Structure 1
């Protein structure tokens, strides 16, 4: 599967890089190497997302060849903010709907409320279409599936396939954190519904600290999944010099070790987030979903992509990463609990 690449900052603006002016296809083969994540346009990450430069961020991404946006009905005002930008006449003229991908999610309603009923899923998709000002969605994921007993997600996922058959959705996906649960659900959908999941999004599972996603890709492909996306290569802002967000579910020990790793990168005049981003982009061959809250962060993320392709910088990074792994110790590949224990029993 080929990926369009973001254009280097020195070459902007140039729309869609290798995609040229061609419309993107329904197959997802044209997904860019980077996708703009919409979780940042939410109160969880930003105190006032309505004051973020959402239009400038989206246009800077599109101008750079990052022709895809990932969001969710669960991400507060994210869909509304994105949809309002995409509906503006100047944006519509420059970037018609068939020139970019829209990926969103359904099923998770709030922190502790989930609705995977067919009616709930249909309602959520309809609301997303309205908010995003579009008549079709390139991907809809069943969102955070580990929080519902897996067989109870099947009716809602079946509704997503029904909407796909009608052309409202072009690809059906599942998203969540625990990889064994995602693999088990992909198999369950194949065995119970006679359909195969098109795409899986897992977050915080291919990072400098946790590399479990790569070996799980084979199991997902065997279950019929064609596309596997890596979300949050900085592990929900854990891998940075600043303290993680208060909501972050990592153990205190992992947070302490990451702080020690940040001290090591500081000794080398390197920001932990920069080396962690380069590592994830260098070693992940598929598409990566990254959230940005400012134009500075967009530029920094695109630069990290191109820096990750630099073999000389890779050699320098590897020497520092060796020291980071020594500090992380047994916390390398550590995961945290997420979802229902009954799902892990189901997997077993």
Structure 2
């Protein structure tokens, strides 16, 4: 280190190339070099950490606490073996715990989620559900106690605001542990308000469904509401979808949309490179043109030949983001139902 400083080096990188160091050890290396090396206080320091023991971010923070002013990071922590220090995790650690770490990055937090998704898609590298900051579960809660606390005061269980990270807010997962408060909150997203006997009847139906399956999707919930009220609770319903697929370059989809308030049906068709794209394009023809398709996530809820897919779709209307979910054994139908649910959310939003 002394030799390269004498030769004019201005930045000294002290890497943990195999991800072996513990935070206190790694931080101590920076302190000792900075204080003990000749010319050590005249240069800047950089950290390069690998995540083999899951400590890349922790080690990078230890380096910052001991004088490092440059951290080598990657989006989503991608890198050799188990990866490097994750950009989004480091940025939010410094932002959230600025009271202790006293360091800033100048990075626009609102772009973190967008960049994360962009890199994930470009690399065909899925983001783990439980990944901090940008993972699907990072801001989701199923426990009834947690849901109730969040709806009363978000800071109860939420140390970061997902909306400030550009993440569509979907913190409530409707499952068997969800309570009435969470159910009312989801219904309010669709402009539906139930009280008394109607709410109790819906809640009983919801609990029966939630006990049978992992989650209750928005599409299923709106069907329950329609059954409880004895009248349509949504604007549109996907009555039928057919897709012709083959080894050719194009897929042909035909969908029938039911406009429930007007009690009309119409069929639309589309040609696209993939079956999901064809179905989404066909549905878009029959729904308000000021709704823009945003993003689609598909996940398997189980394994085996009878596995069901869960789809989550986001759409944009008037600058606001709306989300819809659906579960179906056919992944194309799941995507189509989720898209219609998201559009219903946008159209019914109050």
TM-score normalised by L of structure 2: 0.26
Larger RCO: Structure 1 or Structure 2 (Cα < 8 Å, ≥ 6 residues apart)?
Answer: 1
Higher strand share: 2
Q: Which has the higher helix share?
A: 1
TM value normalised by structure 1: 0.26
Computing the radius of gyration from Cα coordinates, the structure with the larger value is: 2
